[in-house]
Chains A and B, each alone.
Chain A
Amino acid sequence: MQSNEFADPAAVSDALDAAGYLPDTGLATAAFLAMRMHRPLFLEGDPGVGKTALGQALATVTRATLVRLQCYEGIDASQALYDWDFPRQILHLRAASENDDRTALEASLYDRRFLIARPILQAVEQSPSVLLIDEIDRADDEFEAFLLEVLADNAVTIPELGTITAATPPVVVITSNRTREVHDALKRRCLYHWVPHPDFVREVAIVRRRVPLAAAELVQDVAAAVARLRDANLLKPPGIAETIDWTQALHVLGATRLDPATAEATLGAALKYREDLVRVQRDLASLLGG
């Protein structure tokens, strides 16, 4: 399916729904516009609200290859765009005989077959594709400059080879946890969307989709408990990812309702800080709505 076949945001919403991702209206509209306008989608939101999962779901609904680039401090062009295969270049040079045409030899050293495609070049060369640039805030700001060309022109320029342009522009999803401010030059090329925590009904629907075998009452109990945890002023309020993990953990243990004993045993799936665990364990009864 081509990405521009979606007629309206509702069509995107239905397709994502069928792929196991339940977006709200805002996210569906943002994804629709991103595909229609060939603009990168810049997603911010609390950890665990489904930013990365959206990239994966978009790849499913557009039947495209998902190319994921995880950012980290110190990442540079040779890890994100492309690199030359130096050992093979040297072997090629050594294998050439003395009488070979020197100009042709030089040209052949920087041939496409000696080029190693890193995620961004992979996304440009494989179409259709979804390029997921995850946690861009972890990379340092010098790195953002490498992205500008691919985001604006869907192309990668290699000085020795020329410009490689995507046949079909990749759908680009950029996520950020806001540990630092991303440069406006990059943001301006993107559509911006803040992903909120889902409401209770949506959260129940998402968890039931992800953990289909869990008891309906259990999912309701967990979603209600998570909603209370989010209001409990914790260091790290659980995201939807934690709700799914927690339900999964309880389901594996055979629970059909959330009771104090099982809740205490599995709380580590939802809370990741010792301070939070201590605080919640003191007051488990109110967490369970008792």
Chain B
Amino acid sequence: MPPDVPDPVVTMTGFARALRANGVAADATRLATALEALRHVDPLDAGQVYWAGRVTLCAEPDDLPRYDAVFDAWFRGRQPEPPDRRPVQPPGQVVQLRPVSSAGTGRPTSAMEQELRTAASDTEVLRHRDVTELSQADRDEINALIALLTPRVAMRSTRRRRPGGREWIDVSRTVRAMLRDGGEPATLARLRRRVKARRLVLLIDVSGSMSPYADVLLRFAHAAVRVAPRTTEAFTVSTRLTRVTRQLRLRDPQEALAAAGNAIPDWSGGTRLGEGLQAFLDIWGRRGTARQAVVVIASDGWERGDAAQLGEQMARLARLAHRVIWVNPHRGKDGFAPVTVGMSAALPYLDELLAGHTLDALHTLADVIAHA
């Protein structure tokens, strides 16, 4: 090996660390596989090294752009630390339940977004929302309270069977018993249908106008993912769709929310719910994530995009999902009418329209989800 080529183990370990720092699932097992793969390809051929690393260190399509960026920085740019392409949000922004009166989100916003935020203005919200109170209370207690919510979905029956009941004869167990007893017909073993938790999908609007509530709703999503990690999916929508399920699986709420905050590139951006919903249905929903699922959309319906598109996508969603629940933080206010463009476009396709601005409202939401 030429002298200017460094030890591949050192190089790849550093590369895997950089990938992990960027959210790619490059754990120790995958690193070992990658090193094994490198022995089979030409280590001086950048293309082969790229592919050997990509097939061994990545685990899902979301990893691929991150892998490309880190690979470029690590092998082509030769920088000691890969630059993060996204501006990382300060963790506090997501972790803390900010007082509503602190309007600043630490990020410059356009005039339009500013206008939207004013619509959900401080005084208006304060009357109806206990989140200000919560943020002044002990943080541990807040965590405990929201973590106590168990937004678990009702069961559905599956095609899989399990012993018991009286629906079908379990041939395998019956015959085994017969063979044990010398061929004498024994009692018939039976099977019944197995039930399983319905999938829960949460789509949370994290645009500017929703930012006072986004923390609480993400905490709710974290509680839901923690209760049923295999059957819950969480996404955020603002100007684009981001899947945050993996980040929210972290046990500790602070860490989970900080990780989710880092993953969301469009925190407090504009609202393009129609586009976000279409992206969700195209990439996830139609293939199965939304099928027979309980889908919760948390948004105030301040749609900046095409409301007709939102209506169209809501119709698609309603055809796929078991129940569609819309959480509008303004729902709890006096004189609320679902008149925002997005809200009125979506209204015909909803099974439930709920508030979500207080802990109490979140309790109600958990209850509705449980009986959906």
Chain A residues close to B by CB (< 8 Å): 8-9, 25-26, 29-30, 32-33, 36-37, 39, 44, 72-74, 76, 78, 83-84, 86, 89-90, 93-94, 109, 137, 140-142, 177-181, 184, 187-188, 191-194, 235
Contact A33 B288 (CB under 8 A): no
In the assembled complex, the Cα of A230 lies from the Cα of B171 at a distance in Å of 49
In the complex, chain A residues whose CB is within 8 Å of the CB of B282: 235
Residue of B nearest to A35 (CB): B40
Contact A194 B158 (CB under 8 A): no
Collect the chain B residues with CB atoms within 8 Å of residue A179's CB. Answer: 287-289, 291
Distance from A87 Cβ to chain B, minimum over Cβ atoms (Å): 8
Which residues of A have CB within 8 Å of B58?
Answer: 192, 194
Give Cα A207–Cα B227 distance, bound, in whole angstroms.
Answer: 48
Report how far A109 CA is from B282 CA in the complex, Å. 52
Whether A33 contacts B55 by the Cβ 8 Å rule is yes
CA distance A8 to B55 in the complex (A): 16
B:17-46 near A, CB below 8 Å: 25, 27, 29-30, 33, 36-37, 40-42
User: Cβ of B172 and Cβ of A86 under 8 Å apart?
Assistant: yes
Is B52 a contact partner of A194 (Cβ separation < 8 A)?
A: no
Interchain CB contact under 8 A, B160 and A188? no
Q: Are A33 and B52 in contact (CB under 8 A)?
A: yes
The residue of chain A having its C-beta at the shortest distance from the C-beta of B47 within the complex is A25
**B-side interface residues, number (CB < 8 Å):** 44
| B55 and A193 within 8 A (CB) | yes
Chain A residue at minimum C-beta to C-beta distance from B36: A37
State whether B158 touches A187 (Cβ < 8 A): no
Contacts of A33 in B (CB 8 A): 37, 40-41, 52, 55-56
| Chain B residues within 8 Å of A, Cβ to Cβ | 25, 27, 29-30, 33, 36-37, 40-42, 47-48, 51-52, 54-56, 58-61, 64, 158-161, 171-172, 175, 178-179, 182-183, 196, 230, 245, 282, 284, 286-289, 291, 316
Closest A residue by C-beta to B161: A74
User: When the two chains form their complex, are residues B160 and A142 in contact, meaning their CB atoms are under 8 A apart?
Assistant: yes
Residues in A whose Cβ lies below 8 Å from that of B230: 141
With A86-B171, A140-B160, A180-B289 known to touch, is A93 a contact of B179 (CB < 8 Å)?
Answer: yes
Chain A residue with minimal CB distance to B180? A106
Q: Is the CB of B160 within 8 A of A73?
A: yes
Min distance, Cβ B179 to any Cβ of chain A, angstroms: 6
Taken together as a complex, chains A and B put the C-alpha atoms of A36 and B48 apart, in Å, by: 14
Interface centre among A30, A72, A74, A191 (most CB of B within 10 A): A191
Whether B37 and A90, one on each chain, are in contact in the complex, defined by CB atoms closer than 8 angstroms, is no
Q: A8-B41, A74-B160, A140-B160 are in contact. Are A194 and B179 (CB under 8 A)?
A: no
A-B contact pairs, 8 of them (CB 8 A): A26-B55, A29-B52, A33-B41, A89-B179, A90-B178, A140-B160, A179-B288, A184-B25
- What's the nearest-Cβ distance from chain B to residue A148, in Å? 14
Are B40 and A86 in contact, with the CB atoms below 8 A? no
Contact of B288 among A26, A78, A180 (CB under 8 A): A180
Point out the residues of chain A lying under 8 angstroms from B54, CB to CB.
Answer: 26, 193
A9 and B288: CB pair below 8 A?
Answer: no
Which of B33, B230, B316 has the largest number of chain A CB atoms within 10 A? B33
Instruction: Find out whether the CB atom of A76 lies under 8 angstroms from the CB atom of B160.
Output: yes
A73-B55 contact in complex given A36-B40, A86-B172, C-beta closer than 8 Å: no
5 closest A-B pairs by CB: A179-B288, A74-B159, A29-B51, A86-B175, A179-B287
CB closest residue in chain B, given A36:
B40
Provide the residues of chain A in CB contact with B182, threshold 8 Å. Answer: 93
Most buried by B among A33, A39, A76, A177: A33
How near does chain A come to B176, taking the closest CB pair, in angstroms? 8
A73 and B48 form a contact (CB under 8 A): no
Chain A's closest residue to B51 (CB) is A29
In whole angstroms, what is the CA distance A141 to B288 when docked?
14
Residue among B29, B55, B245, B288 with the most chain A CB within 10 A?
B55
- Please give the distance in Å from B55's CB to the nearest CB on chain A: 4
Q: Report A173 CB to chain B, min CB distance, Å.
A: 13
User: How far is B30's CA from A72's CA once the two chains are assembled, in angstroms?
Assistant: 29
A115 CB to nearest B CB, Å = 13
Chain B nearest Cβ from A24, distance in angstroms: 10
B30's partner among A32, A44, A83, A188 (CB-CB below 8 A) is A188
- The smallest C-beta distance from B335 to any residue of chain A, in angstroms, reads 38
Docked complex Cα distance between A80 and B285 (Å):
28
User: In the complex, which residue of chain A has the Cβ closest to the Cβ of B286?
Assistant: A235
Name the one of A37, A44, A140, A187 contacting B196, with C-beta atoms under 8 angstroms: A140
Q: What distance in Å separates the Cβ of B288 from its nearest Cβ neighbour in chain A?
A: 3
B230 to chain A, nearest CB (A): 6
CB distance from B231 to the nearest CB of A (A): 9
